[in-house]
Amino acid sequence: MEDYSHLVGDCRIDKLSLDFNSNTITFVMTRYREELEIIEVKFDGVINQDFKIIDKDNIVFGIEETDWNGLESEFPDMMKWYKHYKSIAPEEKEMISNGTAKCFQIRGTAGLEGYIIAETMKIEKINSANN
């Protein structure tokens, strides 16, 4: 399972877009390294997502790939709601089992803890102050 924290660590969330028609979630974030970086993280084929708290200026510590058991272990309270409120179809659970869909755990400041279950995730540096 991959850890993408080195690509998104210390990023401040500036924009969050959820498109329910195309099943995508996009974060636009900024961070300062040697220069200001603007980073876009896009999840396609979103099956489900949940966060405790997400707000402007949350700082992302990392995004890590996990599996269903990892989500249940990390988010036992969320999984209680998930089982009753956000049901998952058997074919979607099979997508997770066979690797067609992946589980991503997101950690950050001020209670930003959550997950996204999606088919793909793409991280792209879209701009910097010197470009």
Give the start-end residues of each E strand in the chain: 11-19, 24-32, 36-44, 48-51, 59-66, 102-108, 113-118, 120-128
Q: Which residue has the higher pLDDT, 127 or 47?
A: 47
User: Which residue, 62, 56, 64, is CA-closest to 8?
Assistant: 62
- In this predicted structure, the answer to whether residue 125 has a pLDDT above a threshold of 70 is yes
Q: What residue has token string 């793909």?
A: 120
Q: How many domains does the chain have?
A: 1
Non-local (6+) Cβ contacts of 113 within 8 A are 51, 52, 53, 75, 106, 107
Q: Report the DSSP pairing between strands 59-66 and 102-108.
A: antiparallel
pLDDT of residue 39: 95
50-92 pLDDT, tens digit per residue, is 877 777 778 999 999 998 888 778 877 665 655 544 566 778 8
- In this predicted structure, the answer to whether residue 100 has a pLDDT above a threshold of 60 is yes
Alpha carbon of 76 to those of 9, 60, 101, 116: distances in Å? 25, 21, 21, 15
- Tell me the one-letter amino acid at 84: H
The residue-averaged pLDDT of 110-127 equals 88
26-49 pLDDT, tens digit per residue, is 999 999 888 899 999 999 999 888
Range of the domain at 55: 5-128
